[in-house]
């Protein structure tokens, strides 16, 4: 498909259904988008010490994220340079060397080829320096580690741009202890990756799809989750990134610390007080435990979504894997982190009160998209954002506007036609 064709599939207020179901477009996306920009691979706390590692993905390519003795992070293709066997099949752990199980080639954590068994079988021209694990460019911001195949990609901080402010706000959930990943829910749905990308910036579905989640809350908390009724907004942050503020009161978790502690956190507040935390610390921790009031979508594969990281991985044109990473306070009180784990389990995961309904909705989109070859996905919803809330100069709309989706698809168009 030519670049002109890609351009014609994305209009200002709609995208063509082919974007969900054409395998040729999917193949091009893997090349032009996932191999061509910053892709989130890990959080700093996934590899907390020297020689710790985590396996991850950049698009469809398996990688190992490592931390070397000097603390530097490396993202390496998980493929032996000899005959391609994967050199690591663990999810995470500690290792000072990666040994290929097939012929025993061993690699340092920075990717350098350390040793080749029975080296005499190679002639003098063989140089281990020619065969390191392939290393991707790697940069991080506020604990979030990204990698890219594109050697001349702009610096990560520039790529994130206006999104950085929201990442900083999001990390206040560490309550001063720092953010730590606590565990992962992984699930798949038979549908295109962009359906999930859209959903993170879709407040419109919340009261409908998540009615049973809302019904399971106490009245006070149900009011907090009235996401369409609190004067929120959606703001285009550039480069396909966007933020959807659903609960403006929970933008800055260090504000309003004098407000009464919500009933649902009374038990954890008491536990913290009993452990000896002073009142101001208890308030700060409890407010952090409740999570942020916004979803920050970072194009193309990660979101800082209220209280967790939501990572998408395209598997096929009609299959996507989602990881919901629970986060808590690094070295913070056990009671606070337990409360966060229970809150996460309540909504997220394959049997959460929210996720299965999202997944079913996305599957229904993919099933429905089989019909109507000339029909379009409509992204024309939205009225003006509440005055004075979005940053001046940013394109924005009300909380249920499809502004964030339009932003992501304009970035898609830019990258697919570059």
Task: Give the dihedral of Cα atoms 245, 32, 17, 309; nearest 10 deg.
Answer: -30
Size of the site for another protein (CB under 8 A): 40
Q: Is 91 a residue that touches another protein (CB under 8 A)? A: yes
Q: How far apart are the two ends of the chain, measured CA to CA in Å?
A: 13
Q: What is the closest distance, in whole angstroms, from the C-beta atom of residue 171 to another protein in the complex?
A: 19
- Phi and psi torsions of 57, nearest 5°: -140, 145
For the bound state, the minimum distance from the C-beta of residue 326 to another protein, rounded and expressed in Å, comes to 5
Angle between helices 279-290 and 266-274 (to 10 degrees): 140
Where in 195-254 is the site for another protein (CB under 8 A)?
Answer: 209, 211-213, 215-216
Nearer to another protein, 359 or 399 (CB): 359
Contact predicate 237/161, CB 8 Å = yes
Interacting positions 357-396 with another protein (CB under 8 A)? 357-361, 363-364, 367
Stretch that binds another protein, among 14-22, 51-59, 224-232, 337-345 (CB under 8 A): 337-345
**DSSP category for residue 348:** S
- When asked if residue 265 is in the footprint of another protein (CB under 8 A), the reply is no
Quote the least distance from Cβ 249 to another protein, whole Å: 25
Angle in degrees, CA 33, 36, 37, rounded to 5? 90
Instruction: State how far the Cα of 296 lies from the Cα of 310, in Å rounded to an integer.
Output: 10
Could you say which residues in the range 171-190 bind another protein, by CB under 8 A? 182-190
Cβ closest to another protein, residue 224 vs residue 411: 224
Task: Based on the shown chain and the rule CB under 8 A, indicate whether residue 271 belongs to the binding site for another protein.
Answer: no
Which H/E stretch holds residue 199?
helix 193-199
Give me the least distance between CB of 263 and another protein, in Å please.
14
Dihedrals φ, ψ of 282, to 5°? -55, -45
Minimum CB separation from another protein for residue 226, in Å? 17
Among the listed ranges 13-21, 105-113, 235-243, 330-338, the one in contact with another protein (CB under 8 A) is 330-338
Least Å from the CB of residue 295 to another protein: 20
Exposure string of 76-104, with b = 16+ CB inside 10 Å and e = fewer, is: bbbbbbeeeebbbeeebeebeebbbeeee
Residues engaged in binding another protein (CB under 8 A): 91, 182-190, 209, 211-213, 215-216, 321, 326, 334, 337-338, 341-342, 344-346, 349-351, 353, 355-361, 363-364, 367
């Amino acid at each position: 498909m030519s670049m002109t064709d890609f351009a014609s599939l994305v209009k200002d207020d709609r995208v063509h259904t082919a974007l969900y179901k054409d395998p040729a477009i999917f193949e091009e996306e893997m090349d032009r988008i996932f191999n061509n920009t910053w892709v989130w691979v890990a959080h700093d706390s996934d590899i907390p010490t020297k020689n710790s590692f985590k396996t991850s993905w950049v698009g469809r390519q398996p990688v190992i994220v490592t931390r070397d003795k000097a603390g530097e992070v490396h993202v390496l293709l998980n493929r032996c340079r000899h005959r391609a066997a994967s050199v690591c099949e663990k999810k995470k752990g500690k290792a000072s060397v990666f040994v290929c199980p097939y012929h025993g080639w061993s690699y340092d954590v920075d990717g350098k080829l350390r040793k080749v068994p029975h080296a005499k079988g190679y002639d003098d021209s063989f140089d281990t320096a020619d065969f390191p694990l392939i290393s991707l460019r790697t940069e991080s911001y506020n604990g979030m580690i990204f990698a890219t195949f594109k050697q001349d990609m702009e610096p990560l901080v520039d790529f994130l741009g206006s999104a950085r402010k929201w990442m900083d706000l999001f990390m206040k959930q560490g309550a001063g202890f720092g953010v730590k990943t606590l565990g992962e829910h992984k699930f798949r749905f038979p549908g295109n990756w962009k359906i999930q990308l859209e959903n993170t910036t879709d407040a419109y579905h919340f009261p409908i799809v998540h009615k049973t989640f809302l019904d399971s809350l106490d009245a006070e908390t149900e009011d907090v989750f009235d996401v369409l009724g609190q004067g929120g907004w959606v703001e285009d942050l550039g480069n396909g990134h966007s933020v959807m503020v659903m609960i403006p009161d929970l933008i800055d978790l260090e504000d309003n610390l004098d407000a009464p502690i919500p009933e649902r956190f009374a038990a954890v507040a008491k536990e913290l007080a009993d452990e000896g935390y002073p009142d101001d610390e208890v308030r700060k921790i409890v407010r952090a435990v409740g999570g942020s009031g916004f979803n920050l979508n970072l194009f193309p594969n990660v979101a800082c979504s209220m209280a967790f990281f939501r990572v998408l991985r395209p598997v096929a044109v009609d299959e996507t894997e989602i990881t919901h990473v629970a986060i808590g306070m690094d070295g913070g009180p056990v009671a606070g982190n337990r409360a966060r784990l229970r809150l996460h389990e309540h909504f997220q995961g394959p049997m959460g009160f929210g996720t299965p309904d999202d997944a079913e909705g996305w599957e229904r989109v993919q099933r429905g998209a089989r019909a109507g070859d000339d029909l379009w996905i409509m992204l024309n919803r939205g009225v003006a954002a509440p005055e004075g809330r979005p940053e001046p100069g940013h394109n924005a709309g009300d909380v249920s506007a499809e502004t964030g989706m339009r932003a992501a698809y304009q970035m898609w168009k830019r990258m697919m036609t570059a």
